[in-house]
Amino acid sequence: MEAMAELPRVVVGLTGASGMPYALDLLESLQGLAEVHLVLSQGAKRVLWEEMGLSPKDLYPLASRVYKDGDLGAPIASGSFRTQGMVVVPCSATTLSKIALGLADTLLTRAAYVHLKERRPLILVPREAPLPLPTLRAMVQATEAGALILPASPGFYHRPKEIRDLLGFITQRILDHLGLSAERAPRWGEPPS
């Protein structure tokens, strides 16, 4: 009898930036594709409520495991905990700056630090606009450290008809960079599936 293949592990961090619909779309899209390890910052909890009317407990069914941001002893804080990668969505300017500087003072920033040091994919999805110079510099530093900056800035060549189409555009890019196969949005030059 063949053993079932384990799903790849993906760490997902939510921070206090606007853009929770992107996070929810990603979490829903990861169902059946990955074992999701979720951590929310304090700010994320507030924005989740403000933007979606949801509490962190509403996200529990979308994760294999949920961690407290203060639990620096959690498995995702160690490089020995193997993952396919990590996504911070939405990624606040403060969190992005901490990651760029290697400040690992919370579980979320520690997990990001671990992904950088282990040379695993770390995808940061900022949504703020306009971008001040300190944030632009932090983006460059994070990129130089090995992170991928993937702004929540959807394209329109796929002729979106609803918000879900715009969210899917970003989710598709995230999944591609994690090496996970899912068709969440049409690709340029390819007919829609």
137 annotated ligand-binding residue: no
Is 135 assigned a ligand-binding role in the annotation? no
Each residue of 180-189: b (16+ CB within 10 Å) or e? Answer: bebebbbeee
Residue 63 labeled ligand binder = no
18 is in an annotated binding site: yes
The reply, when asked if residue 127 is annotated as ligand binding, is: yes
Instruction: Answer yes or no: are the C-beta atoms of 146 and 139 closer than 8 Å.
Output: no
As a whole number of angstroms, the distance between CA 14 and CA 125 comes to 10
The answer on whether 95 is annotated among ligand-binding residues is yes
Q: Is position 83 annotated in a ligand binding site?
A: no
| 92 assigned binding-site residue | yes
CB 136 within 8 A of CB 96: no
Could you tell me if 62 and 27 are in contact, meaning their C-beta atoms sit under 8 angstroms apart?
Answer: yes
- Helix axis angle for 163-178 and 20-29, nearest 10°, is 60
113 is in an annotated binding site: no
The span from the CA of 139 to the CA of 128, in Å, is: 12
What letter represents residue 72's amino acid?
A: L
CA distance 179 to 128: 26
Annotated binding site for FMN: 16-18, 41, 92-95, 127
Write out the binding residues: 16-18, 41, 92-95, 127, 157, 173
Residues annotated in a binding site for dimethylallyl phosphate: 157, 173
